[in-house]
Amino acid sequence: MTLLGKRIAVTGVSSGIGKETAQRLVDAGASVVGLDRNEPADAIDKFVRVDLSDASSIDNAIVQVEGKLDGLCNVAGLPPTAGRVPVMKVNVIGLQRLTLGLIDTLNDGASIANVASLAGFGWQDSASAIRDWLAKADHDNVEALCDELDISDERCYFFSKEVLIAWTLINRWSWRDRSIRMNCVSPGPVETPILKDFIETMGARAEEDMRIMDRAGRPEDIAPLLVFLMSDESQWIRGANLPCDGGMSAHIQCQMNNLN
């Protein structure tokens, strides 16, 4: 599989899954535009500093990307310990603002891949709140809307990923006339800088997940799937939420339906 000649933007490029994805894209021949608050140590073709919690920073970053893109990997995200307002701003609102702001920059046939999470499993149970969030949310009303929808600090990470999965599905054909596709990947617990924060916040649930799993995931487990979604070979995958979690989502579904 080659990505020679493709220009792809990656958020969260300085660490974890974003860093690994950028390196693998480069190895596959792509030109990488990295977006992050922190400049990456690894060489990429262009770096744009951005704070996804700040609307003006996102708008400035969109301008600085310059030139056309063939893909966008939305990898950047905050852990649950960051609190509900920053989490919802970065994991959902900022991601959406950046993505929609880059649509005109994307070439026809481009691919968008969002990194969601196993934490978003069962998003259907939150469909009513998700609809309200998507209809009302912006950078300025996050705290008030969290109050209205009863999204606490403990709940925010789950909800942010539920919203992201639903938003991905909603946009399955939004740009079909230009053959632009959107999908998301839902990892289980992954050994990244935020894993400790994730386990701390999830408590007993995270400990149980880690006990069942043979191991935590690694960035190199997730990045190849994102690279594939940037390739022409993935053109018929649209609006999909692809689990990459060591079997955890399958385990949960089997338990829920007494299939074990």
From 133, 157, 167, 198, active-site residue:
157
Using the predicted structure, report yes or no on whether residue 235 has a pLDDT greater than 80. yes
Tell me whether residue 157 is one of the annotated catalytic residues.
yes
Which H or E run includes 130?
helix 127-136
Q: How far apart are CA 156 and CA 150, in angstroms?
A: 9
Q: What is the pLDDT of residues 178-232, one digit of tens each?
A: 999 999 999 988 876 666 666 666 556 666 666 677 778 899 999 999 999 999 9
Mean pLDDT of 85-90: 98
Polymer length of the chain = 260
CATH architecture of 7-256: 3-Layer(aba) Sandwich (3.40)
* Range in 92-101, 132-141, 183-192, 208-217 with the lowest mean pLDDT: 208-217
Percent of the chain scoring above 90 in pLDDT? 81
What is the per-residue pLDDT for 213?
Answer: 72
The mean pLDDT of 148-156, rounded to a whole number, is 96
In degrees and rounded to multiples of 5, residue 185 shows phi and psi of: -120, 135
Domain boundaries, the chain: 7-256
* Confidence (pTM): 0.93
What DSSP designation does 258 have?
T
Confidence at residue 203, expressed as pLDDT on a 0 to 100 scale: 59
Q: Going by C-beta distance under 8 Å and a sequence separation of 6 or more, which residues neighbour residue 163?
A: 92, 123, 130, 133, 134
pLDDT of amino acid 80: 87
Average confidence (pLDDT) over 19-44? 96
Q: Cα–Cα distance between 238 and 184 in angstroms, integer?
A: 9
Average pLDDT, the chain: 93
50-60 mean pLDDT: 98
